[in-house]
Chains A and B, each alone.
Chain A
Amino acid sequence: MIVQSIRSARDIGLRWLERKLGLVTWVAGRGSRNATALDKACRWLAAVLLMPPGEDFMRDPLIDEHPGFDPDELEAYSRGETA
């Protein structure tokens, strides 16, 4: 009996998740277009929805602050002229 009620609660939870997924999909879709004011608002919302507030564990200066490379330096490097 207890297990049955766990199961039906879980089914309700699954249906709720499916509906939530529909909403997130819509928001992310608008956000990914990034053209109108609504798109931009959705973009902001999608970022918040996808990343929990508080500690942003994906921040890493190695990635965030990497300036990229200089094409001339890469060219010289590829010819073995620089380290």
Chain B
Amino acid sequence: MPATVPFDAEKVGKSRRPVATKEGATAQRALCATCDIACSVGTETKKGRVVKVRASDNPLFRDNICMKGVYAPRGFANPNRLMHPMKRVGERGSGKFERVTWDEAMADIGARLKAIIAKYGPESWAVSTSQWNTGTDCGLSRRLMNHIGSPNWISGVALCAGNTAAVNRLTYGWFPMGDFNNTNCIVLIGHNPTRHSWSPIYSMIRTRQARGAKLIVLDPRKSENAARADIWLPLKAGSDTAMLFGWLKVIIDEKLYDAQFVRDWTVGWEDLKRRVDEFPLSRVAELTGCKEADIRAAARMYATQGPSLIPWTPITDQQRNSTSGIRLQTILRAICGNLDVVGGETLQGLNPDIIPETVIEAHEVLPEEQKLKQLGTEDHPVFTYRGQDALREPMKRVWGHEYVNQVVGCYMANPNSTFKAMAGKGPYPVKAFVFMGNNPLLSYANMPLILEGMMNQELIVAHEQFMTPSAQLADYVLPADSWLERPWMSDMFGWMSASRPSEKSMEPPGECESTFSFLKRLAGALDRPEVIPWESVEELYDWRLEKTGMSFEEFSKNYEVYFNKPRYKKYEQTGFATPSGKVELKSSILEDLGFDPLPYFREDPPAPEGFDLMLFTGVREDGFFQTGHRHIAEMRAKNPEPVCFLSKKTAKKQGLREGDWVEVESTTGTVSMKVSVRDGMPNGRVRILHGWWKPELGRGLEAGLSGTMTYSDAQLTGDDPDYFDQEQGIPHFKGVPCKLTKTVHLPVATDEPTAVRA
């Protein structure tokens, strides 16, 4: 998620050049891409290396930096960084590779991919990526796939913000960004920004709190933010949808909504009221485990102390009621008068001066029959082409483009359906898999299925900085640059109308190349060089900036952020970008797709016998982002082992103590974790950290893929329909039955070349 910058570009965007603080260094302005929030930072370079990453000089971005950003120069200097293209020499999964040249690799990749496409069709080629790792993609992977004819592009954003964007648009035709700087009330649903995780959001929340804004936190555990909240609702994991029904019940019964907005700008109000009436507070209290009085107080606070914000949360993204939970958030925002107002949820649109990535993606060139082949289309269509199809005309009418791919999550294939097709269990085979800056084996649910799918491929190509567990299964592993080594222009993935430049701070080491360069090579290898005609990524940026009259060089010299003056309540002129032009409390799109058009709540199914604890996962430690950074000794020193958190009472009941090792078992798999006993944990719950593997452990399948088979939480979550959101087809991470068994953690043999140097 990008930093929020609700200011006027002419007045704020231009800023002075950064000045080096280290003697003899040159300074650049950059955007940190170590996590997805893209802090504006300063980098300092000496003897061709970045020697310092610090916060921007601009007072607006003061302190927008965390320890991961500060240690980035060391992380990217790690001796195990991939420097040269590597080709697999043993069996798939043997972890054995030899060095080849870029030209040799791309010639073979091109020939094999063309043969697969000729044999099985273009849809047999799938791509998985995470955009913050691959800044210079700029929509080019979608563009190339669209021209070749494959709709099967997947990303971790299917579980994290991208899917939220797609669902938000069903209600009001855009994914809003909260105006944190001016809000009076913030609701965090399980989300927990801290000093070193999502630092800018943490800073804005605390700043607003210090100025009197209210904070409401819904979280099963007493998180850092829960401890500082005006109201903390310690709800059962996975029950936020029921909780939001309770809020609506209070707000509707007590008439705390914006009646004029509801009358003039919504459809489906009476149907919504009837559905909400199914959730009296006594039922909500039972479903959530919270007191009726607290639920009522929180709902009143949200509705009356605004403008209020419900910022995006990954928690609602990752559960069986995700679509309904996200829809209830959108409904609360709308009926309480928080849409497109200062201090509320801004609908910013795209910046008309800069060609957005969504235009580069060229969704219009993919034939309709190929769009309909997108995996997931039939069963879980919400974020596929089919699910967003009814928005084409409204998007054009309101935002000026038929296809607007916000947070890259609005025209995706369903990841789980894609892995099934890779494993030979789909409507057609997927036989070529390319992933870029992404560790798919650990990043989605149901790792056994992903592994089966990957082992069934005829071609796997990884473009990566390190030999990740997923890369160990590839035919080719190609060395990727880092954010220090490339110029970048971020348009916030279409979430905001701001654009920000990031200057190249040093040359890429060895033979590392950018995503732009890799995709340009790939277009050439597929005999389609015209699809990516720009000679360099700078030339592409110059083209995107043509309307501003600036080159990328001028843009990055002069601007820290390029942003048009904010305008509010734009819908009064244009209507909303929905089929009805109004806020659809009852979704015509969901109805047409054959789903319940109103939000609903599915209760937990009975737990299988013996699985009497509930795990929730998807969270990571401050020193790591997703599955990365375990190779950075300073970060690892803070979190050396994968940990599961238990309350004192639960630990005692299980006969466990701090530091014990346990096997955590769900119905889909088992992992090993070290026990940490925490006061803030609810009883009966196990909190598992996400994305663990150990780069220092042995490579290859036989050796356990560098600890993946021992530690990765992706083994604990599956795709059982009871634990799956139906509309989107995303898995449930927030309340999965599990059990714990005390174990002895045996040291695993290290693989010398990948050992972490402490």
The chain A residues found within 8 Å of chain B, CB to CB, are 3, 6-7, 10, 14, 17-18, 20-21, 24-26, 28-29, 31-35, 43, 46-47, 50-52, 54-55, 57-58, 60, 62-63, 66-72, 74-75, 77-80, 82-83
Contact = CB atoms under 8 A, between A and B. Distances in A.
A52 B211 contact: yes
A55 B78 CA distance: 37
Contacts of A82: 757
Interface residues of B, number: 66
Given A25-B7, A51-B207, A68-B22, A14 B79 contact: no
28 contacts: A14-B343, A18-B342, A21-B181, A25-B12, A28-B7, A28-B12, A28-B60, A29-B14, A31-B59, A32-B15, A32-B59, A33-B14, A34-B57, A47-B62, A58-B195, A63-B65, A66-B54, A68-B44, A68-B51, A68-B73, A71-B46, A72-B47, A74-B49, A74-B73, A75-B49, A77-B757, A78-B81, A80-B757
B307 interface: yes
B485 to A, nearest CB: 13
Given A33-B15, A47-B62, 18 more contacts: A3-B259, A17-B343, A24-B181, A25-B8, A28-B11, A29-B8, A32-B14, A32-B58, A34-B15, A50-B60, A52-B211, A57-B195, A58-B206, A60-B196, A63-B63, A72-B47, A74-B74, A77-B757
B255 interface: yes
A29 B11 contact: yes
Contacts of A78: 77-79, 81, 509
Nearest to A66: B70
Contacts of A14: 307, 341-343
A46 B7 CA distance: 13
Interface string B175-219: 000000110000000000001100100010011001100000000
Contacts of A70: 51
Contacts of A29: 7-8, 10-12, 14
A26 B343 contact: no
| Majority-rule SS of B interface residues | loop
Interface in B22-50: 22, 44, 46-49
Contacts of B11: 25-26, 28-29
Interface of B: 6-8, 10-16, 21-22, 44, 46-49, 51-52, 54-55, 57-60, 62-63, 65-67, 70, 73-74, 77-79, 81, 181-182, 195-196, 199, 203, 206-207, 210-211, 255-256, 258-260, 304, 306-307, 337, 341-343, 509, 560, 566, 568, 633, 757-758
A21 B6 contact: yes
A21 B179 CA distance: 11
